[in-house]
Chains A and B, each alone.
Chain A
Amino acid sequence: MSNDKFHRIILPLSNQFYRLALSIVKEQTEAEDIVQDVLLKLWNKRNEWDTIENLEAYCFRSIKNLALDRLVSDAIKKTDSIDAEIESRTFVDTHSPYQEIVQQEQRSIIYQCIEKLTENQKLVFQLREIEGMNYKEISQSLGITEDLVKVSLFRARRKMRELLSNFENFDKNEW
């Protein structure tokens, strides 16, 4: 039964786990390692699954914790640089080199803005904006109260709004 649960419920969430890990460690190989570690550890603990109330949320929390730990212990400093792979992946809809530059600029702007958020805000932002989770799901996945989720999301969006609308230095006509 646990075998089935693992394959049916947990494995399909792998990409979501990956994106969460990636948003924290900002490095693809590392993020994949984290997902692999968590999944295998979870599998080895399958005799304990009965005692865990919400297995999916437990996984998200584990991913978050492991990623944050790796960030600290490996001292990966990626706050300024963005993984080149991610950058190059999204050039599908560009038509010209100029468009590429514009998109690169946009991307760097958004990364800068996100860096200004607090840790909780970043995590809530990630789970809501990218994974589309509702407040309850986010609160269980991060191990924080629903109230904190709402407040964090509110502040995160407000900050983004503020920062983005104040970016005067680019030529919006080209967008």
Chain B
Amino acid sequence: MNGEYIHTLLNKYWGCQTSPSEEKELQDFFLGENVPNDLKCYIPLFRYRDEQQSLSLSPGFEEKIRKQIKKSPQYITIRIFAPLLRIAASVALIVALGISLFLISKQDASKPYLTETYNDSEAAMHQAAFAFEKLSRAFEISESVYIKTFQEIDKLNLDWPGMDSINIEKPAPRKKIDL
């Protein structure tokens, strides 16, 4: 291959003006025998490309995935939203009647409840995280309010020991408190 051609092509490559097929050309060249001395420093780059392009997953990976997919159970999605209708009300009504009759017939008389499941647990995870974060922040807010209150009391610089020792026979010196 013409030495000058390669130099030109390589310059195009540095300038990001080569097509993928031209880049393959360079790669093949640099993996071959006749690399001129002044370009030998670039061999690692093209060898790297070649190596990496042939990396692949361990055999049987796709099969593993297919198996896992077959396993995944199908859950029914029921989301209960008090209406802002997107589906024609009549359709929803019929579906609802159908489902409600179905559920009514399944009710356990002693403890009637509505069961619903989602399609995937990730959405539920987000909702659960929201719920617990809200609860935990509520606790934090109340904690910080308590702390603020105690800080305010602290600022009052009350004479606690003094107040403790108040008794009729030995009146403690009463300090004036600036509020």
Do residues B65 and A110 form an inter-chain contact, with CB atoms below 8 A?
no
A157 touches B65 (CB 8 A): no
State the total of A-B contacts with C-beta under 8 angstroms: 102
With an 8 Å Cβ cutoff, the count of chain B residues facing the other chain is 36
Asked if B139 is at the interface of the complex by the 8 Å CB criterion, the answer is: no
Q: Which residue of B lies closest to A129 (CB)?
A: B49
> Is there an interface contact between B56 and A44, defined as CB atoms closer than 8 Å?
no
> Main SS of chain A's interface residues?
helix
Contact A11 B62 (CB under 8 A): yes
Q: Are A157 and B16 in contact (CB under 8 A)?
A: yes
Question: Is there an interface contact between A11 and B13, defined as CB atoms closer than 8 Å?
Answer: no
* Closest CB in chain B relative to A6 CB, distance in Å: 8
**Cross-interface CB contact of B51 among A7, A32, A90, cutoff 8 Å:** A90
Closest to A22 in B: B55
A23 to B51: give the CA distance in the assembly, Å. Answer: 12
B122 neighbours in A (Cβ, 8 Å):
41, 44-45
Is B16 a contact of A40 with CB atoms below 8 Å? no
Q: Please determine whether A161 and B14 come into contact, CB atoms closer than 8 angstroms.
A: yes
For the complex, is A165 an interface residue (Cβ under 8 Å from B)?
yes
Inter-subunit contact B41/A18 (CB<8 Å) = no
Contact indicator B57/A109 (Cβ below 8 Å): no
**Which residues of chain B are within 8 angstroms of A164 by Cβ–Cβ distance?**
41-42, 44-45
Smallest distance from the beta carbon of B35 to chain A beta carbons, Å?
Answer: 7
B residues within 8 Å of A by Cβ? Answer: 13-16, 20, 23, 35, 37, 40-45, 47-49, 51-53, 55-58, 61-62, 64-66, 68-69, 72, 77, 119-120, 122
User: Can you offer 8 A-B residue contacts whose CB atoms are under 8 A?
Assistant: A32-B61, A40-B65, A41-B122, A43-B72, A107-B47, A154-B16, A165-B41, A172-B41
Contacts A41-B122, A157-B16 known; 20 new A-B pairs at CB < 8 A: A11-B62, A14-B57, A18-B56, A18-B57, A23-B52, A32-B58, A43-B69, A44-B120, A45-B120, A107-B44, A110-B44, A110-B48, A150-B16, A160-B45, A164-B42, A164-B45, A165-B41, A172-B37, A173-B37, A175-B35
